[in-house]
Protein backbone atom coordinates (compact mmCIF):
# COMPACT_ATOMS: atom_id res chain seq x y z
CA UNK A 1 0.00 0.00 0.00
CA UNK A 2 1.28 3.42 -0.93
CA UNK A 3 0.50 6.57 1.05
CA UNK A 4 -0.56 9.17 -1.50
CA UNK A 5 -1.24 12.84 -0.83
CA UNK A 6 -3.57 14.70 -3.21
CA UNK A 7 -3.20 18.47 -3.16
CA UNK A 8 -6.28 19.99 -4.82
CA UNK A 9 -9.20 17.51 -4.70
CA UNK A 10 -11.13 19.09 -7.57
CA UNK A 11 -12.10 17.32 -10.80
CA UNK A 12 -8.75 15.71 -11.58
CA UNK A 13 -7.52 15.44 -7.98
CA UNK A 14 -10.82 13.98 -6.79
CA UNK A 15 -10.98 11.42 -9.59
CA UNK A 16 -7.37 10.33 -8.98
CA UNK A 17 -7.93 10.20 -5.20
CA UNK A 18 -11.04 8.03 -5.58
CA UNK A 19 -9.39 5.71 -8.09
CA UNK A 20 -6.32 5.23 -5.88
CA UNK A 21 -8.39 4.73 -2.71
CA UNK A 22 -10.55 2.16 -4.49
CA UNK A 23 -7.35 0.36 -5.54
CA UNK A 24 -6.44 0.01 -1.86
CA UNK A 25 -4.01 2.87 -1.33
CA UNK A 26 -3.99 5.20 1.66
CA UNK A 27 -5.03 8.62 0.36
CA UNK A 28 -4.70 11.87 2.27
CA UNK A 29 -6.38 14.94 0.83
CA UNK A 30 -4.75 18.35 1.26
CA UNK A 31 -7.16 21.17 0.52
CA UNK A 32 -8.37 24.61 1.54
CA UNK A 33 -9.86 24.63 5.06
CA UNK A 34 -13.55 24.36 4.08
CA UNK A 35 -13.00 21.70 1.48
CA UNK A 36 -10.76 19.68 3.81
CA UNK A 37 -13.38 19.92 6.58
CA UNK A 38 -16.17 18.86 4.20
CA UNK A 39 -14.26 15.82 2.94
CA UNK A 40 -13.14 14.87 6.47
CA UNK A 41 -16.77 14.99 7.62
CA UNK A 42 -18.59 13.52 4.60
CA UNK A 43 -15.96 11.59 2.65
CA UNK A 44 -15.29 11.69 -1.08
CA UNK A 45 -18.02 10.77 -3.59
CA UNK A 46 -17.02 9.72 -7.09
CA UNK A 47 -19.23 8.80 -10.02
CA UNK A 48 -17.92 7.60 -13.34
CA UNK A 49 -19.24 6.01 -16.51
CA UNK A 50 -18.56 2.51 -15.22
CA UNK A 51 -18.60 2.58 -11.44
CA UNK A 52 -19.08 4.81 -8.44
CA UNK A 53 -17.12 4.95 -5.21
CA UNK A 54 -17.51 6.72 -1.95
CA UNK A 55 -15.50 6.49 1.21
CA UNK A 56 -13.93 8.23 4.14
CA UNK A 57 -10.51 9.77 3.55
CA UNK A 58 -8.07 11.63 5.75
CA UNK A 59 -8.40 15.28 4.74
CA UNK A 60 -6.34 18.18 6.08
CA UNK A 61 -5.62 21.80 5.30
CA UNK A 62 -1.90 21.06 5.31
CA UNK A 63 0.31 18.02 5.06
CA UNK A 64 1.50 16.95 8.50
CA UNK A 65 3.18 13.60 7.80
CA UNK A 66 5.31 12.38 4.89
CA UNK A 67 3.64 10.71 1.92
CA UNK A 68 5.26 8.37 -0.63
CA UNK A 69 3.70 10.17 -3.60
CA UNK A 70 2.15 13.64 -3.74
CA UNK A 71 -0.26 14.26 -6.64
CA UNK A 72 -0.84 17.95 -7.34
CA UNK A 73 -4.02 18.90 -9.20
CA UNK A 74 -4.72 22.58 -8.63
CA UNK A 75 -5.28 25.06 -11.42
CA UNK A 76 -1.99 26.64 -12.54
CA UNK A 77 -2.73 30.04 -10.99
CA UNK A 78 -3.50 28.45 -7.59
CA UNK A 79 -0.32 26.39 -7.47
CA UNK A 80 1.95 28.82 -5.56
CA UNK A 81 -0.62 29.40 -2.80
CA UNK A 82 -1.63 25.75 -2.57
CA UNK A 83 2.00 24.66 -2.29
CA UNK A 84 2.23 26.52 1.03
CA UNK A 85 0.10 23.71 2.48
CA UNK A 86 2.95 21.25 1.92
CA UNK A 87 6.03 21.81 4.10
CA UNK A 88 9.01 21.01 1.88
CA UNK A 89 10.75 19.38 4.86
CA UNK A 90 8.22 16.52 4.64
CA UNK A 91 8.97 15.81 0.98
CA UNK A 92 12.50 14.39 1.27
CA UNK A 93 11.50 10.91 0.12
CA UNK A 94 8.35 11.87 -1.81
CA UNK A 95 7.72 11.54 -5.53
CA UNK A 96 5.79 14.68 -6.55
CA UNK A 97 3.45 14.27 -9.53
CA UNK A 98 1.78 17.40 -10.87
CA UNK A 99 -1.12 16.68 -13.23
CA UNK A 100 -1.75 20.26 -14.33
CA UNK A 101 -2.16 21.11 -17.98
CA UNK A 102 0.70 23.15 -19.42
CA UNK A 103 4.47 22.79 -19.19
CA UNK A 104 5.80 25.57 -16.96
CA UNK A 105 4.66 24.11 -13.62
CA UNK A 106 7.30 21.37 -13.77
CA UNK A 107 10.36 23.67 -13.70
CA UNK A 108 8.50 25.90 -11.22
CA UNK A 109 7.99 23.00 -8.79
CA UNK A 110 11.58 21.83 -9.21
CA UNK A 111 12.79 25.33 -8.35
CA UNK A 112 10.47 25.59 -5.34
CA UNK A 113 11.27 22.09 -4.06
CA UNK A 114 15.02 21.63 -4.52
CA UNK A 115 16.15 18.07 -3.98
CA UNK A 116 12.62 16.69 -4.36
CA UNK A 117 11.80 14.42 -7.28
CA UNK A 118 9.14 15.99 -9.53
CA UNK A 119 7.85 13.64 -12.24
CA UNK A 120 6.56 15.13 -15.49
CA UNK A 121 3.16 13.56 -16.10
CA UNK A 122 -0.02 14.36 -18.01
CA UNK A 123 -3.56 13.16 -17.59
CA UNK A 124 -6.31 13.02 -20.17
CA UNK A 125 -9.58 12.58 -18.36
CA UNK A 126 -12.85 14.51 -18.38
CA UNK A 127 -13.33 15.40 -14.73
CA UNK A 128 -15.69 17.76 -12.92
CA UNK A 129 -15.93 18.80 -9.28
CA UNK A 130 -19.63 19.45 -8.59
CA UNK A 131 -19.02 20.65 -5.06
CA UNK A 132 -16.36 19.99 -2.41
CA UNK A 133 -15.97 16.23 -2.10
CA UNK A 134 -18.29 15.36 -5.00
CA UNK A 135 -16.54 14.59 -8.29
CA UNK A 136 -17.46 13.00 -11.58
CA UNK A 137 -15.49 11.38 -14.37
CA UNK A 138 -17.66 12.37 -17.29
CA UNK A 139 -16.39 10.04 -20.02
CA UNK A 140 -14.61 6.72 -20.13
CA UNK A 141 -11.00 7.62 -20.87
CA UNK A 142 -8.30 8.06 -18.23
CA UNK A 143 -4.95 8.22 -20.03
CA UNK A 144 -1.81 9.05 -18.11
CA UNK A 145 1.53 9.96 -19.68
CA UNK A 146 4.64 9.56 -17.53
CA UNK A 147 8.24 10.61 -18.05
CA UNK A 148 10.77 8.01 -16.99
CA UNK A 149 13.57 10.59 -16.98
CA UNK A 150 13.85 10.26 -13.17
CA UNK A 151 13.49 7.17 -10.99
CA UNK A 152 10.06 8.15 -9.58
CA UNK A 153 8.29 7.92 -12.93
CA UNK A 154 8.11 4.13 -12.77
CA UNK A 155 6.52 4.25 -9.31
CA UNK A 156 3.84 6.72 -10.46
CA UNK A 157 3.23 4.72 -13.65
CA UNK A 158 2.53 1.62 -11.53
CA UNK A 159 0.13 3.51 -9.28
CA UNK A 160 -1.72 5.08 -12.22
CA UNK A 161 -2.14 1.60 -13.72
CA UNK A 162 -3.51 0.27 -10.42
CA UNK A 163 -5.92 3.21 -10.48
CA UNK A 164 -7.26 1.80 -13.75
CA UNK A 165 -5.82 4.42 -16.09
CA UNK A 166 -4.12 3.60 -19.39
CA UNK A 167 -0.47 4.53 -18.91
CA UNK A 168 2.05 5.45 -21.59
CA UNK A 169 5.64 6.10 -20.61
CA UNK A 170 8.14 8.31 -22.40
CA UNK A 171 11.90 8.69 -21.92
CA UNK A 172 11.84 12.46 -21.41
CA UNK A 173 9.79 15.25 -19.83
CA UNK A 174 9.28 17.42 -22.93
CA UNK A 175 7.54 14.65 -24.86
CA UNK A 176 5.04 13.96 -22.06
CA UNK A 177 4.16 17.60 -21.56
CA UNK A 178 4.13 18.83 -25.16
CA UNK A 179 2.25 15.82 -26.55
CA UNK A 180 -0.61 16.74 -24.22
CA UNK A 181 -0.32 20.50 -24.73
CA UNK A 182 -0.16 20.34 -28.53
CA UNK A 183 -3.61 18.72 -28.49
CA UNK A 184 -5.05 20.50 -25.46
CA UNK A 185 -4.08 24.06 -26.45
CA UNK A 186 -6.01 23.91 -29.77
CA UNK A 187 -8.99 22.22 -28.08
CA UNK A 188 -9.11 24.66 -25.16
CA UNK A 189 -8.53 27.77 -27.28
CA UNK A 190 -10.97 26.85 -30.06
CA UNK A 191 -13.79 25.94 -27.66
CA UNK A 192 -13.27 28.80 -25.24
CA UNK A 193 -12.80 31.51 -27.88
CA UNK A 194 -16.04 30.33 -29.53
CA UNK A 195 -17.78 29.87 -26.19
CA UNK A 196 -19.01 26.53 -27.55
CA UNK A 197 -18.25 22.79 -27.51
CA UNK A 198 -15.80 21.50 -30.08
CA UNK A 199 -18.30 20.64 -32.85
CA UNK A 200 -19.84 24.10 -32.91
CA UNK A 201 -16.46 25.77 -32.26
CA UNK A 202 -15.04 24.22 -35.44
CA UNK A 203 -18.14 25.16 -37.46
CA UNK A 204 -17.95 28.76 -36.21
CA UNK A 205 -14.20 29.13 -36.92
CA UNK A 206 -13.40 26.78 -39.83
CA UNK A 207 -10.27 28.70 -40.78
CA UNK A 208 -8.80 28.70 -37.28
CA UNK A 209 -8.32 24.97 -36.74
CA UNK A 210 -5.33 24.38 -39.07
CA UNK A 211 -3.33 27.45 -37.95
CA UNK A 212 -3.92 26.95 -34.23
CA UNK A 213 -2.84 23.30 -34.50
CA UNK A 214 0.18 24.24 -36.64
CA UNK A 215 1.30 26.77 -34.03
CA UNK A 216 0.98 24.30 -31.14
CA UNK A 217 2.86 21.55 -32.99
CA UNK A 218 5.56 23.99 -34.20
CA UNK A 219 6.03 25.09 -30.59
CA UNK A 220 6.37 21.43 -29.55
CA UNK A 221 8.97 20.94 -32.28
CA UNK A 222 10.98 23.83 -30.82
CA UNK A 223 11.44 21.58 -27.77
CA UNK A 224 12.38 18.59 -29.92
CA UNK A 225 8.92 16.98 -29.72
CA UNK A 226 7.55 15.89 -33.09
CA UNK A 227 3.76 15.79 -33.23
CA UNK A 228 1.90 15.30 -36.50
CA UNK A 229 -0.45 18.31 -37.01
CA UNK A 230 -2.74 16.32 -39.32
CA UNK A 231 -3.21 13.68 -36.62
CA UNK A 232 -4.10 16.37 -34.06
CA UNK A 233 -6.58 17.96 -36.43
CA UNK A 234 -8.17 14.58 -37.14
CA UNK A 235 -8.43 13.88 -33.39
CA UNK A 236 -10.12 17.24 -32.83
CA UNK A 237 -12.61 16.67 -35.65
CA UNK A 238 -13.36 13.16 -34.36
CA UNK A 239 -14.21 14.29 -30.81
CA UNK A 240 -17.83 14.06 -29.69
CA UNK A 241 -19.57 17.24 -30.97
CA UNK A 242 -20.60 18.29 -27.47
CA UNK A 243 -17.19 17.89 -25.83
CA UNK A 244 -16.05 20.88 -23.81
CA UNK A 245 -12.57 21.65 -22.53
CA UNK A 246 -12.02 22.36 -18.84
CA UNK A 247 -11.09 25.90 -19.91
CA UNK A 248 -14.50 26.40 -21.52
CA UNK A 249 -16.20 24.97 -18.42
CA UNK A 250 -14.26 27.44 -16.27
CA UNK A 251 -15.26 30.36 -18.51
CA UNK A 252 -18.94 29.33 -18.42
CA UNK A 253 -18.71 28.85 -14.65
CA UNK A 254 -17.30 32.36 -14.20
CA UNK A 255 -13.97 31.02 -12.90
CA UNK A 256 -10.49 32.19 -13.93
CA UNK A 257 -9.14 30.42 -17.01
CA UNK A 258 -5.64 28.94 -17.35
CA UNK A 259 -4.77 31.10 -20.34
CA UNK A 260 -1.14 31.67 -19.46
CA UNK A 261 -0.48 28.00 -18.66
CA UNK A 262 -2.09 26.74 -21.86
CA UNK A 263 -1.56 29.43 -24.53
CA UNK A 264 1.52 31.01 -22.96
CA UNK A 265 4.02 28.25 -23.78
CA UNK A 266 3.04 28.34 -27.49
CA UNK A 267 3.31 32.14 -27.69
CA UNK A 268 6.58 32.22 -25.78
CA UNK A 269 8.09 29.42 -27.91
CA UNK A 270 7.22 31.04 -31.25
CA UNK A 271 6.96 34.74 -30.45
CA UNK A 272 3.63 36.51 -30.96
CA UNK A 273 4.32 37.25 -34.66
CA UNK A 274 4.55 33.54 -35.42
CA UNK A 275 1.55 32.61 -33.28
CA UNK A 276 -1.25 34.82 -34.68
CA UNK A 277 -4.01 32.20 -34.34
CA UNK A 278 -3.10 31.48 -30.71
CA UNK A 279 -2.84 35.18 -29.88
CA UNK A 280 -6.17 35.84 -31.64
CA UNK A 281 -7.87 33.13 -29.58
CA UNK A 282 -6.41 34.55 -26.36
CA UNK A 283 -7.73 38.01 -27.30
CA UNK A 284 -11.18 36.58 -28.03
CA UNK A 285 -11.22 34.77 -24.68
CA UNK A 286 -10.12 37.89 -22.81
CA UNK A 287 -12.97 39.72 -24.56
CA UNK A 288 -15.44 37.07 -23.38
CA UNK A 289 -14.09 37.29 -19.84
CA UNK A 290 -14.38 41.08 -19.71
CA UNK A 291 -17.23 42.32 -17.49
CA UNK A 292 -20.09 43.75 -19.56
Ligand X SMILES: NC(=O)C1=CN([C@@H]2O[C@H](COP(=O)(O)OP(=O)(O)OC[C@H]3O[C@@H](n4cnc5c(N)ncnc54)[C@H](OP(=O)(O)O)[C@@H]3O)[C@@H](O)[C@H]2O)C=CC1
Could you list the residues that contact ligand KPL (CB under 6 A)?
Answer: 101, 124-126, 184, 187, 245-246
Using the contact rule CB under 6 A, the part of the chain among 70-78, 89-97, 144-152, 266-274 near ligand X is 70-78
- Which residue, 122 or 147, has its beta carbon nearer to ligand KPL? 122
- Which residue, 54 or 260, has its beta carbon nearer to ligand KPL? 260
Q: Which does 187 bind (CB under 5 to 8 A by kind): ligand X, ligand KPL, none?
A: ligand KPL
What is the per-residue DSSP string for 153-197? HHHHHHHHHHTT-EEEEESSHHHHHHHHHHHHHHHHHHHHHHTS-
Q: Which does 96 bind (CB under 5 to 8 A by kind): ligand X, ligand KPL, none?
A: none
Q: Which of 5, 10, 145, 186 binds ligand X (CB under 6 A)?
A: 10
For the chain, the straight-line distance linking the first and the last C-alpha, in angstroms and rounded, comes to: 52
Per DSSP bridges, beta strands 44-47 and 52-55 are antiparallel
Give least dist CB 291 to ligand X, A: 21
Helices first, then strands: H and E counts in the chain:
12, 11
Cα 199 from Cα 209, distance rounded (Å): 12
Cα 31 from Cα 112, distance rounded (Å): 19
Cα 165 from Cα 137, distance rounded (Å): 12
82 contributes a contact to ligand X by CB under 6 A: yes
Residues contributing to the site for ligand X (CB under 6 A): 8-13, 31-32, 35, 73-76, 78, 81-82, 85, 99-101, 123, 125-127, 129, 132, 246, 258
Amino acid sequence: MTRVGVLGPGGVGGVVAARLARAGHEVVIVAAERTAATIAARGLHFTGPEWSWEGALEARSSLVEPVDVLVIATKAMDLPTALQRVPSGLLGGTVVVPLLNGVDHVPYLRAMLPGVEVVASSISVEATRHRPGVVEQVSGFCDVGVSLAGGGGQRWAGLAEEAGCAVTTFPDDATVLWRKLSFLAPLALLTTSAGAPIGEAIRLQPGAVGPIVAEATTAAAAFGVRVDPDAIEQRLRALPEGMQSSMLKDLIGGRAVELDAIAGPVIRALGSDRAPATVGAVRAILGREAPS
